[in-house]
Structure 1
Amino acid sequence: MKADQGSAVQSYSIWAQPSGVLANRLQTEIDHLAGLTNEAPSFLPHVTVVAGVEGTEQEVLQRATEAAAQIQKYVIGFESVSYGKMYFQCVYMLCEPSRPTLAAAAAARRVFGKDKGDHYMPHLSLLYSDIQVAQRAQIAEALQARLMTGTSTTANPLPEKSFLVDTLNVWLTPAGDKSLKSWKLVKQIPLH
């Protein structure tokens, strides 16, 4: 007998996602960057609040609801475009480490038992890839000039440099799936 997916232990992530014009604009950038390399996937714009949450769907949803009850609506602002060394932090928009943003992540991480260890760096990824560091730096520099400062010849600044977080979005994000084909939205939980 096959186990119901809701009762199987899986890996989930909790996201804050922009909406409207800003989400559409960021999606255009993500899609464009994914098209630059063969292996880069497209994905929805999001700021991960907590990742690598293990459990059954029911357990994760219960804890996400508990976390949402401790978090009020808040605003995430963008500081700059940067790059990292990891696949899932290839090129990203660094978010302001504001008190509400850090408090929301701390509350969610505490509920999920992820509050020890790694430092939380709020960011919105624009490209997932294993490209060379020099290429990451070049892309980040071009995006900074085009999206944030409007100083490039192809300037198309973001319509807004912040967004309201009014839901926690629970996503099934199986570890190791770089194609993202198995990723799916499970539930949106409203914040107060």
Structure 2
Amino acid sequence: MLNNIFIIKFLSFLGFIAIFLLFYSILTVPDPMQNVQLNEADTNKTEVYSVWAIPSEDVSVRVKKLMGGLRSEFGGPQFEPHVTVVGAVRLTEEEARDKFRKGCEGVKKAYSGTVEKIDIGTFFYQCVYLLLHPTNEVVEASARCCSSFGYNSSSPYMPHMSILYADLTDEEKKKAQEKAYILDESIGNLSFQISSLALYKTDTEDKSLKSWEKIEEYNLS
């Protein structure tokens, strides 16, 4: 009799465990639709992107040396030498890649850039820069890429290669401008080849530039 009672209790206990495990498995099984929604959210996430014209390697090395000399005295973040072709545009990564490739197909071949002078600007991202001659090649490359991105600037295109990002006073900017000529006396009439275009993620709110990254590069033939 006691054995029967024990067996019944034992079977009841096993039944309780089985029911508990069943409910636990139901509650902990991931919802596949939730994963789909999360993936869609990642896909639809927008970031700020820009298109840069990248100078040839020898020129990049030279400009980096100049930039390093300016940063050592005036501060500011480190960044790659470039000529902005398309300004900041907010898109998904898929949209940005697609528009970038179409824009590059419109440019296709390498082109030249020539420095007119070292100049100073009015805000952080144009503190001190190399102003380029707005030749047909330079302007057209920007126009083709901007068209692909649907980017419309409020002011005429001013091709330039920044050599210092910083928040400086007007007096400090002039000192940095003078310092640039001292560091590289002939930089003011530099001519160089633009050998590739690059798509960069460029959150303009991040002045440390730590979040900036190259997404894709297109070599110009």
Normalised by the length of structure 1, the TM-score is 0.86
Match 2:86 to one of 25, 50, 66: 50
Select the residue among 71, 82, 93 that pairs with 2:119.
82
Alpha carbons of structure 1 residues 135 and 162: separation in structure 2 relative to 1, 3 Å: same
Q: Evaluate the alpha carbon distance shift between residue 50 and residue 125 of structure 1 in structure 2; reply closer, same or farther with a 3 A threshold.
A: same
Give yes or no for contact 2:116–2:130 (8 Å, CA) kept in 1.
yes
Equivalent residues in 2 for 1:23-34, closer than 5 Å: 23-34=60-71
Of 123, 127, 134 in structure 2, the residue corresponding to residue 97 of structure 1 is 134
Equivalent residue for 1:187?
216
Whole-Å separation in 1 of the counterparts to 2:133 and 2:209: 27
The aligned length equals 182
- Identify which of 35, 54, 57 aligns with 1:20: 57
The alpha carbon displacement at 1:162 in A equals 2.1
2:152 corresponds to which residue?
115
Whether the 8 Å contact between 2:69 and 2:183 is mirrored in structure 1 is no
Give, in angstroms, the shift of residue 146 of structure 1.
4.7
Within the alignment, does 1:136 sit opposite 2:165 as a pair? no
CA distance in 1, matches of 2:156, 2:53: 18
Aligned residue number for residue 167 of structure 1: 196
- Which protein is richer in helix relative to its size? 2
User: How far apart are 1:163 and its partner, in Å?
Assistant: 2.0
Name the CA distance, whole Å, in 2 between partners of 1:36 and 1:146: 12
State whether residues 80 and 144 of structure 1, in contact with CA within 8 Å, keep that contact through their aligned partners in structure 2.
Answer: no
The residue type paired with residue 106 of structure 2 is Q
1:170-189 deviations in Å (ceiling 9; x for gaps): 00111200000000111102
2:153 and 2:202 map into 1 onto residues whose CA distance is: 21
Q: Percent identity?
A: 30
* C-alpha contact 1:167 1:189 (8 A) present in aligned 2: yes
In the aligned structure 2, how far is the partner of 1:142 from the partner of 1:116? 31
51-60 or 111-120, which moves further after superposition? 111-120
Which segment is superposed worse, 107-116 or 164-173? 107-116
Letter of the structure 2 residue corresponding to residue 168 of structure 1: L
| Deviations 1:17-55, CA, capped at 9 Å, x for gaps | 1132211111111122122234x1111111100111211
Cα 1:140–1:37 shift into 2, 3 Å: closer
Where do 5+ consecutive residues of structure 2 fail to align? 1-34
Q: Is the 8 A contact 1:50 1:108 kept in 2?
A: yes
Structure 2 letter corresponding to 1:53: V
Once residues 177 and 204 of structure 2 are traced to their aligned partners in structure 1, the CA distance between those partners, rounded to angstroms, is 26
Contact 2:203 2:212 in 1 (8 A): yes
Letter in structure 2 aligned against 1:47: V
Counterparts of 2:167 and 2:120 in 1: how far apart (Å)? 12
Note the aligned Cα RMSD (angstroms): 2.0
